[in-house]
């Protein structure tokens, strides 16, 4: 994924990007073509889902991460944060927040180079952790 967005090595956050159609509730996720489901780069190899309340957490507000990702991907519509989604990954020496951003409106944007839109059933065959991240986002968005 670092080839997709050079200069993002070692970011202290990751983001899931979704689009939920306002009428049909059809849900799609913007994912990298190569591997993983988070942007702008894949999770570190040893990442595991952190238990809630897993210790002290210092992080910056996700709005700057959201705007940076949107600008880098070249998405014209403004993405919004889904504040109900709370997830952190444990990686060596760090609790890594994973945010959920939503593309508003009826229409999808054209997927940026190196990405594609998928629906949840298309995640079958992906590694368990990737499917679990999508499932948790689905649970927050659809209920």
| Burial (CB count within 10 angstroms: exposed 0-12, middle 13-18, buried 19+), residue 29 | buried
Asked whether the whole model's pTM tops 0.85, one would answer yes
Domain ranges of the chain: 14-142
Q: Give the HSE-up count for residue 131: Cα atoms under 13 Å, Cβ half-sphere.
A: 8
Give the architecture (CATH level 2) of 14-142.
Answer: Alpha-Beta Complex (3.90)
60 pLDDT exceeds 80? no
- CA–CA separation, 142 and 114 (whole Å): 27
High-pLDDT (> 90) share of the chain, %? 62
* Strands 94-102 and 14-20, sheet pairing: parallel
The whole-number average pLDDT for the span 51-74 is 77
Q: Give tens-digit pLDDT for 94-127.
A: 888 999 999 999 999 999 999 999 999 999 999 9
Structural tokens at position 63: 């709005």
């Amino acid at each position: 994924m670092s080839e997709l967005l050079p200069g993002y090595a070692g970011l202290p956050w990751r983001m899931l990007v979704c689009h939920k159609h306002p009428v049909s509730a059809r849900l799609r996720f913007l994912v990298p073509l190569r591997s993983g489901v988070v942007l702008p780069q894949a999770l570190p190899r040893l990442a595991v889902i952190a238990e809630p309340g897993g210790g002290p957490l210092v992080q910056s507000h996700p709005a700057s991460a959201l705007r940076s990702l949107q600008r880098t991907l070249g998405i014209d519509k403004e993405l919004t944060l889904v504040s109900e989604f709370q997830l952190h990954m444990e990686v060596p020496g760090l609790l890594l927040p994973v945010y959920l951003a939503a593309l508003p409106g009826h229409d999808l944007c054209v997927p940026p180079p190196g990405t594609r839109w998928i629906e949840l059933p298309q995640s079958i065959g992906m590694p368990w952790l990737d499917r679990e991240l999508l499932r948790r986002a689905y649970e927050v968005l659809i209920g």
